[in-house]
Structure formats: C-alpha cells, structure tokens
C-alpha cells in the first residue's frame, strides 16, 4: 500500500448511498488503480435505500475485498451518513478520510489529488469547481451558479477566509480534523459540509482546495437549492452569534 508522508498512510474512502443502485457500480469501477492501492477501505453507507443498492454493493465486495457496507435501517440524512463514516474511520485508526459520492457527481479520478495536500500539512481538503473553470459549462443552472458565487462571497467575508468553494461535496479530512471538529453535534442535512468547514475555521485547521470539474445533470443530486441556501444563511448567523 502506498504511504503518504506525515503519517497519512491509512485512508478510508466513504461513499454516501441512497437509492443509487444504478450508479454506484460504475463509480467504484472508475476509481483508478493507483487510488485503489492507497485506499485501505471503501466504506459504503447505505442510508435506508429502498432499491437494490445494498445488493449491488454486496456483489461488488466479492470482487473488491476492501469494500465494507454499513446500513441505516431508515433514511437518516446526508449529515448522519458522514457521522457514521467518521465514527467508523476513527475506530479503524484511519489517518485520513475522503468522501466520494455514489451518484457520479464527483469524479473518482480526483481521489489522489484530493489526498495530496495532506503531504504538505493540510488538515481539510475541499474540491473546488470554481478553480477548475466555469461551472455553467458543466451543466450547473444559472440560479445555482449565481447562488453559489454569492454564498461563497458572504461566507468568505464572515469567516475571514479566501476559499473558492464552500459548497462542494468532495471533501477529505485528516484524523486531527475529525478529532478537532465537533461533528457529532452538526445537522443531518446537506448543510453538514458547510458546518464542517465552520468547525475547521473555529479549530484553526489548515484548509486546502483542489480543482474538480463540474458534473451536473438529471439524476445527479437531490439537493434543493433554495432550502439549502436558507440553511447556509442560518449557519452563517449561528457562527456570528457563536452558536456553532
């Protein structure tokens, strides 16, 4: 197994899965061989799927022994999936965890680039579609594009950061980050990723960004932009008043 410098040698890749039976296999098979050599475990957290997601994963385990499957009996939400994955990774002694969505919205060939910043001392890594290029060319709608730009600007102002992207689901965390961020008290919703960045800012962790392409289209995301935007604004207000 390839080792990263600074002790980042045990890497868990976790995949949130909710009714992705028709997508998850192609995502796993698209993980480059070089990345497979680095990953100790591919953890799939099935969040109460009503389709055959779990069955597909069980079949893939026969071919890829590093795959592990955890199942929530009912749908508990995106944030709860990550809490389950983080607790599992910590218990397994992982040095780093990286999240790869099972619906194909984030490219598996960026897994190694997402881990490389740990070699330079990063503790949190975020994929940035803004750094890669015009997000609209990847199929992002105009209202989502301008909403993302506006929210990023607001969050940079409030958090006093210079990040290009707060709203990407391609994230990686060192063990130190998971030990420093009080993630168990965060939300169950898609806003969990934003709260994790707030926690990283509060803990004064080093945050790095990696360019990733925008892949938007039908079937890729169940996130509803307006409720999500409102939840982000609530997080900003809670930060201002010291409640997160």
Q: Is residue 75 part of a domain?
A: yes
In-domain check, residue 89: yes
* Mean pLDDT for the chain overall: 90
Range of the structural domain that residue 176 is part of: 11-240
pTM score: 0.89
pLDDT at 131 over 80: no
pLDDT of residue 182: 97
- pLDDT at 102 > cutoff 60: yes
Looking at residue 218, its pLDDT comes to 47
Residue 3, in any domain of the structure: no
Provide Rg for the chain, Cα atoms: 17
Residue 7 above 60 pLDDT? no
Task: Count Cβ neighbours within 10 Å for each residue of 211-238 and write b for 16 or more, e otherwise.
Answer: ebebbbeeeebeeeeeebbebbeebbee
Residue 1 maps to a domain: no
pLDDT in tens, 188-235: 998 899 999 999 999 999 999 999 988 765 444 556 677 878 888 888
Task: Spell out the residues 6+ positions from residue 173 whose beta carbon is closer than 8 angstroms to its own.
Answer: 86, 96, 97, 123, 124, 125, 181, 196
Residue among 38, 5, 239 nearest 121 (CA): 5
Specify the CATH number for the domain of residue 159: 3.90.550.10
pLDDT grade for 27, boundaries at 50, 70 and 90 = very high
In a domain, 6, yes or no: no
Q: Is residue 159 part of a domain?
A: yes
244: pLDDT confidence band, cut at 50, 70 and 90?
confident
User: In this model, does residue 147 exceed pLDDT 90?
Assistant: no
What pLDDT, in 10s, does the model give residues 81-101?
Answer: 999 999 999 999 999 999 999
Rounded Cα–Cα distance for residues 181 and 243 (Å): 14
Is residue 127 over pLDDT 70? yes
List pLDDT tens digits, range 104-121: 999 999 999 999 999 999
Q: What is the pLDDT of residue 216?
A: 62
- 141 pLDDT band, cuts 50/70/90, is confident
Q: Is residue 2 part of a domain?
A: no
Asked whether the predicted pLDDT for residue 136 surpasses 80, the reply is no
Domain presence at residue 48: yes
Name the strands in the sheet holding 11-17, side by side, starting at the edge strand that comes first in the sequence.
Answer: 67-72, 39-47, 11-17, 96-99, 171-174, 124-128, 207-211
Q: How many domains, in total, are found in the chain?
A: 1
Question: For 153-200, what is each residue's pLDDT tens digit?
Answer: 999 999 999 999 888 899 999 999 999 999 999 999 988 999 999 999
């Amino acid at each position: 197994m390839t080792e990263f410098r600074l002790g980042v040698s045990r890497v868990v890749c976790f995949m949130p899965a909710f009714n992705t039976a028709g997508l998850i296999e192609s995502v796993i098979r698209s993980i480059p061989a070089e990345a497979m050599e680095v990953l100790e475990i591919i953890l799939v957290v099935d969040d109460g799927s009503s389709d055959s997601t779990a069955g597909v994963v069980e079949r893939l385990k026969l071919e890829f022994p590093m795959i592990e499957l955890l199942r929530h009996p009912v749908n508990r939400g995106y944030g709860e999936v990550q809490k389950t994955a983080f607790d599992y990774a910590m218990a397994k002694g992982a040095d780093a965890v990286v999240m790869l969505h099972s619906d194909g919205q984030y490219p598996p060939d960026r897994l190694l680039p997402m881990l490389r910043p740990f070699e330079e001392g990063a503790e949190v890594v975020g994929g940035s579609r803004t750094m890669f290029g015009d997000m609209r060319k990847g199929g992002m709608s105009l209202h989502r594009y301008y909403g993302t730009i506006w929210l990023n600007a607001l969050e940079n102002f409030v958090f006093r950061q210079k990040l290009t992207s707060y709203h990407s689901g391609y994230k990686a965390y060192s063990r130190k980050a998971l030990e420093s961020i009080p993630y168990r008290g965060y939300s169950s919703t898609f806003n969990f990723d934003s709260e994790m960045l707030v926690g990283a800012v509060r803990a004064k962790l080093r945050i790095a960004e990696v360019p990733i392409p925008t892949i938007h289209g039908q079937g890729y995301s169940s996130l509803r932009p307006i409720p999500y935007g409102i939840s982000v604004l609530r997080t900003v207000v809670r930060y201002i008043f010291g409640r997160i």
